[in-house]
Amino acid sequence: MSSFCEDRVVIVTGAGRGIGREYALMLADHGAKVIVNDLGGARDGTGADLGPADEVVNEIKAAGGEAVANGSDVSDFGQAKEMIQQAIESYGRLDALVNNAGILRDRMLVNMQESEWDAVIQVHLKGTFAPAHHAAGYWREQSKAGNPVDARLINTSSVSGIYGNPGQTNYGAAKAGIAAFTVIASRELKRYGVTVNCIAPGALTRLTEDLQPGEITDEMREAQSPRWIAPIVTWLASAESRDVTGRVFEASGSVLAIAEGWHRGPTVAPVSDPTTLGPIVRDMVKQARMNAGMNGKDFDGGLE
């Protein structure tokens, strides 16, 4: 067992399966004490079962690590607070929170139901805000009390949010919101000794396997394994990353990159007459860089 994250106390939400499970296992392997949160719901967010979280905890303990299970619904404000408190009561403090829990209810905009929109926004966006709010409050209290704080907030966006994927207006809106949340929170929490970063992961998990066209080969499973994402999260949760904040990292078995956010493009003086705007706007559009497609490069206008 490595000592890279020795004695760091880390909460990982949605850690019973997939990407979150890999985070929890690698963090524990590097010496972190892990609170393994998972509601244990289905892919669409229905149901609850502590079994997946317990299984990961047992795996960590069998390897000589320390972990406790937590079955909180991270989108419930009160339960999110209890989860933060459990970490503090179990291990004496909290050093990092990894917001990873999520669900999918994909649908084209014209077919999307209100309930499908609400559920995805609730789990992803509020499920990031609620734990982050309570963790930030704890770290602020520690800082104001004169206790040294070297804490990490690590959120989860998606290329579907920062680049845009048809059929995922609900999921993409939530994930784009989380990317903006990350940038803003990093500026607010820096004074308390907290860095805030974000991961846009790419991997084959139970949420994404049936979205892949054609047969999934063993080679594809290895290339898109969640294990490729865990190293950057482990590094960000460590003490070594204290000088990096406000960044969105795209991570998968094929790339590790920093996604660069919105910047002002072609600019003209204000125009008072809307009838004159046609040629002006078209010229600005012609000069402007294209929005990125799902590959992180210029979008060609087609469905990807």
Query: Which residues are designated catalytic?
Result: 171
CB contact set of 48 (below 8 Å; sequence gap of 6+): 39, 40, 41, 71, 73
Print burial letters for 127-152: b (CB count within 10 Å at least 16), e (below 16): bbbbbbbbbbebbbebbeeeeebebb
- Could you tell me the maximum CA-CA distance found in the chain, to the nearest angstrom? 71
Q: Reading across the β-sheet that carries 256-259, which strands appear in turn?
A: 66-70, 33-37, 9-12, 96-98, 151-156, 194-202, 248-252, 256-259
CA distance 113 to 117: 7
- Please check whether residue 234 is in contact with residue 2, taking contact to mean a CB–CB distance below 8 angstroms: no
Print burial letters for 170-187: b (CB count within 10 Å at least 16), e (below 16): bbbbbbbbbbbbbbebbe
Q: Hey, what are 297's tokens?
A: 């490069």
Q: Which residue has the tokens 């290339």?
A: 223
CA distance 23 to 17: 10
Nearest to 202 by CA among 7, 4, 13, 18: 18
Q: Residue 102 class from Cβ within 10 Å (0-12 exposed, 13-18 middle, 19+ buried)?
A: buried
